Amino acid sequence: MSEILTPEEIIKKGELVFKKTKFMTDANLSYCPGCGHGVAHRITMEVIEEMGIGEQTIGVAPVGCSVLAYDFMNIDMQQAAHGRAPAVATGIKRVFPEKYVFTYQGDGDLAAIGTNETIHACNRAENIVIIFINNGIYGMTGGQMAPTTLEGMKSSTSPYGRDVSTMGHPIKITEMVAMLPGVCYATRHAVHKPGLVRKAKKAIRKAFENQRDKKGTSIVEIVSNCNSGWKMTPVDANIWLEENMLPVFPLGDIKG
């Protein structure tokens, strides 16, 4: 049988293998074209859909590009002050211990102003999931230098490149918190290639399962691009990410 089907016939006869999850709203994402936030949102919501915990999950949105995450994620959300998402998530989890609580934060939020809250929430072994999007820059405010900015990387506040003698080295939060006994799972992933998206989704699923089993804090770092902040096209930004970000922030499990 070598019949030639037209795409319309395939759509009619074939099985649906991929569609937008119902836990993402129909609102257009406010992110720049090609931004990794969209994929990170989607895989988080797909995990929640597959685990069937949509009605028991509370997300904490940060300040940063993903400040409007509550518009896109079709679950209960809470907005936190800048960097304070792990503290707010701690409160929510202690009031509703049977709910699933996760925070979704960028590097300017989690690694800069919120370092204190992040480290202490991890140290207290709060039973939450932290999803950490690391793009090495403050995206929303116009591409300023973040703690995770690479050595020599140009940003609007380091126009000659980050000089480590005066500005310090890129901070590796996931490695730092992995040392704490309260953290049960620390891992780093990326979402710029189909295979890596699948791996990142598995990691997020494992993090939520750890929360279900009351194992402690799980942190999933996702190395993402910021093509507007880096002043590149989305495709070039992904190539740059692979060549420059990944050697500094290697992918894989750090703990657990």
Chain positions contacting other proteins, by CB under 8 A: 1-5, 7-11, 13-21, 24, 28-29, 31-39, 42, 191-194, 197-198, 233-235, 238
Cβ atoms of 183 and 122 closer than 8 Å: yes
Nearer to other proteins by Cβ, of 37 and 84: the residue is 37
Of 106 and 114, nearer to other proteins (C-beta) is 106
Q: Are 125 and 216 in contact (CB under 8 A)?
A: yes
Distance CA 60, CA 69 (A): 9
Shortest distance (Å) from residue 29 CB to other proteins: 6
Structure-token pair, residue 254: 């750090």
CB of 193 to other proteins, least distance (A): 7
Quote the least distance from Cβ 84 to other proteins, whole Å: 27
| CB nearer to other proteins: pick between 15 and 55 | 15
d(CA 7, CA 92): 48
CA 137 distance to own-chain centroid: 14
137 or 186: CB nearest other proteins:
137
Residue type, 68: L
Distance CA 108, CA 214 (A): 28
Please state, in angstroms and rounded to a whole number, the distance separating the CA atoms of residues 232 and 239.
10
* Token digits of residue 190: 């990326």
Measured torsion, CA atoms of residues 50, 254, 118, 85, in degrees rounded to the nearest 10: -20
Question: Looking at beta carbons only, is 15 or 98 nearer to other proteins?
Answer: 15
Q: Distance of alpha carbon 224 from its chain centroid, rounded?
A: 8
CB of 4 to other proteins, least distance (A): 8
Q: Of 6 and 165, which CB lies nearer to other proteins in the complex structure?
A: 6
d(C-alpha 127, C-alpha 218), whole Å: 8
CB of 7 to other proteins, least distance (A): 4
CB of 254 to other proteins, least distance (A): 24
Ramachandran angles phi, psi of 88, nearest 5°:
-65, -40
Minimum distance of other proteins from residue 139's CB (angstroms): 13
User: What is the C-alpha separation between 25 and 29, in angstroms, rounded?
Assistant: 9
Task: Determine the 3-state secondary structure of 92 from DSSP.
Answer: helix
In terms of CB distance, is 127 or 227 closer to other proteins?
227
Residue for token digits 């891992």?
Answer: 187
